[in-house]
Amino acid sequence: MAQSLLKIIAEKNQRLEDIPLEFQSNVERLQRRIFTRIVDLIGQLDTEAGSVKMTEANLLKVEMINSELRQVLNGREYTSAVREFVGEFEVQKTVNDKYFKKAFASEFKQVGIANQLVKNSQRSALELLSGAPADQNFITPIRAQLEQAVSSGASLSNTIKGIRELVEGNEDVDGRLLRYSKQVSSDSFSLSDRAYTNAVSEDLELEWFRYSGGLVKDSRCFCDERNGNYYHYKEIEAWGRMQDLGECNIGGGWAGMMQGTNESTIFIVSGGYNCKHSIMPVSIGIVPRDVIDRNMANGNFEPSEFDKEEFGL
């Protein structure tokens, strides 16, 4: 049983990595095509001796470029990628359901608020990725740079170079749309996953959890110390109060901690920004004995008569 549960957790954690990455790959491909099109449009600006002419006509052409970029964000390719990504929130919920049904078969049931939280997360991600915020983080900077090129009579080659860095990025920084999409897609998918898990856990009044997920080269100290370990919910709440942070304590928190982290939200925000870890509820039957003993000793856990008889506590 324990191995099959860990297999489902592994599937869930892999999706926390793969689904945002797939969306981000789609955005990166789109960025390259956008830049090619912008170069074509910039070529229509009036120039003189290799510099953009300071004319009203050129400002109107900048407006035309701006309108075309907005059409790209409203076009089929980008909106389909966004909707496909948002649809994966529901798939992730079914993976979580599979886990809960196997781990807590007789107790698990669909929880109305948990299902609604997923729908709310989908709506929020859709708005962030295809609404005004995406416009402000991608189109607005390009428009500002083009207007500046016209108003200053900048060289055409420098203008194209600057636009390339905005759209496609460079070796040090991602393009504006990809950078924004990375932040939104990674956090929104993980937060939706953990909000659903937490709501079901609250409904089942579960006490024991496993901090799980993969480690990468830039994993934060907070996740590195906790990955794969088991905890009582009171220990997890203590992290949200900035207690028992161990070597990761940087003075009232840890590196990468999300704003608004407290003893309640810790189950949803976990390690913080861009965190791919899950705080997964587990049955006491698979919790290591030393973890149980630790929490009996510190007063977090009082075993029931059933626990005493069943697990020899």
Per residue of the chain (313 residues), what is the pLDDT tens digit? Answer: 577 888 898 899 999 999 999 999 999 999 999 999 999 999 999 999 999 999 999 999 999 999 988 888 888 999 999 999 999 999 999 999 999 999 888 788 888 899 999 999 999 999 999 878 888 989 999 999 999 999 999 999 999 999 999 999 998 999 999 999 999 999 999 999 999 999 999 999 999 999 988 766 677 899 999 999 999 999 999 999 999 998 999 988 999 999 999 999 999 999 998 898 999 999 998 899 999 999 999 999 999 998 888 888 8
Phi, psi of 272 (to 5 degrees): 120, -150
In a 10 Å sphere around its CB, with 0-12 CB exposed, 13-18 middle and 19+ buried, how is residue 58 labelled? Answer: buried
In a 10 Å sphere around its CB, with 0-12 CB exposed, 13-18 middle and 19+ buried, how is residue 290 labelled? Answer: exposed
Q: Identify which of 277, 282, 280, 288 has the alpha carbon closest to the alpha carbon of residue 311.
A: 288
Residue 66 belongs to domain spanning: 1-205
Same domain, 99 and 200: yes
Same domain, 221 and 200: no
Same domain, 94 and 108: yes
Looking at residue 248, the DSSP 8-state letter turns out to be G
Same domain, 302 and 313: yes
Same domain, 175 and 80: yes
Same domain, 97 and 230: no
CA distance 150 to 146: 6
Diameter over CA atoms, the chain: 89
- The continuous run of DSSP H or E covering 212 comes out as strand 208-212
CA distance 84 to 86: 6
Mark which of 161, 183, 205 sits at the end of a domain: 205
CA distance 51 to 150: 9
- pLDDT for the residue 267: 95
CA distance 180 to 30: 14
Q: Which residues pair with 48 in a beta bridge?
A: 51
Same domain, 230 and 267: yes
Same domain, 115 and 170: yes
Phi, psi of 44 (to 5 degrees): -85, -5
Number of domain units in the chain: 2
- pLDDT for the residue 215: 64
Mark which of 155, 181, 205 sits at the end of a domain: 205
Same domain, 170 and 241: no
Same domain, 217 and 200: no
Cα–Cα distance list, 119 to 9, 110, 193 (Å): 22, 14, 11
- pLDDT for the residue 312: 87
Mark which of 158, 174, 205 sits at the end of a domain: 205
Same domain, 115 and 228: no
Contact status, residue 280 vs residue 212, Cβ threshold 8 Å: yes
CA distance 297 to 295: 5
Contact status, residue 291 vs residue 301, Cβ threshold 8 Å: no
pTM: 0.89
Contact status, residue 125 vs residue 89, Cβ threshold 8 Å: yes
CA distance 48 to 155: 9
- The continuous run of DSSP H or E covering 210 comes out as strand 208-212
- pLDDT for the residue 162: 93
- pLDDT for the residue 2: 72
Same domain, 170 and 221: no
Cα–Cα distance list, 273 to 62, 82, 166, 186, 230 (Å): 36, 21, 23, 9, 22
Contact status, residue 210 vs residue 9, Cβ threshold 8 Å: yes
Looking at residue 286, the DSSP 8-state letter turns out to be G
